[in-house]
Structure 1
Amino acid sequence: MALTLSEAAANHVANFIKKRGKGLGIRLAVKTSGCSGMAYKLEFVDAESDTDLVFESHGAKIYTDAKSLAYLDGTELDYTKEGLNEGFKFNNPNVKNECGCGESFGV
């Protein structure tokens, strides 16, 4: 069971934490939401919890919880720039369907 960050995502996280002046990494979780049933939740981590599962890629840490990992196992978080749009992209092998806007998914 694992979560990974692409090199581009790890660099973006490291640069953003440096600009923030604090932070250990990012937290990736899922919540019930959207038209397909689940949505990704992404936030910065300033303190570890006893229930955190921690993975490291390219020197950056990604945190999650056991419940979310059941839906996220094998996911690679990438950071892409396409024209004027840039942001995180979730390469989740567990996804069976996604909504048209890309904000929610089902497994």
Structure 2
Amino acid sequence: MLTLTPAAAGKVKELLVEEGRADIALRVAVQPGGCSGLRYAMYLDDQVTEKDASEEQHGVRIVIDKLSVPYLSQATVDFIDSLEQTGFTI
């Protein structure tokens, strides 16, 4: 399973408060596209199935579809907030 940094978890929690729903998970996936043939997708999702890998880190539920798990097993999701960049990185 991927690693969620405390900074990323904090930002996800802020987004969950804005949504007003505590039952939503952070879904991270690998999809076709991009220069290397793959691109990352990350969004809030309330549709979790038994085909998903699921784990809680820093109070945030993370779900990954089983096909994406091998590509994300060593990945780290972070949140950067600087003058040069603001956003999530994988």
What TM-score do the two structures reach when normalised by structure 2?
0.89
The equivalent of 1:53 in structure 2 is 53
The equivalent of 1:65 in structure 2 is 65
Task: State the Cα distance separating 1:84 from its structure 2 match.
Answer: 5.2
> Unaligned regions of 5+ residues in structure 2, if any?
none
CA distance in 1 between counterparts of 2:11 and 2:68 reads: 23
What TM-score do the two structures reach when normalised by structure 1?
0.76
After superposition, the CA RMSD in angstroms is: 1.3
Q: How many equivalent residue pairs?
A: 89
CA distance in 1 between counterparts of 2:47 and 2:37 reads: 29
CA distance in 1 between counterparts of 2:7 and 2:52 reads: 24
5 Å matches for 1:1-107?
Answer: 2-22=1-21, 23-83=23-83, 85-90=85-90
CA distance in 1 between counterparts of 2:67 and 2:51 reads: 10
CA distance in 2 between counterparts of 1:47 and 1:4 reads: 21
- CA shift digits 1:57-94 (9 cap, x unpaired): 1111111011101111121100011205310111xxxx
CA contact (8 A) 1:4 1:56 kept: no
Calculate percent identity across the aligned residue pairs. 33
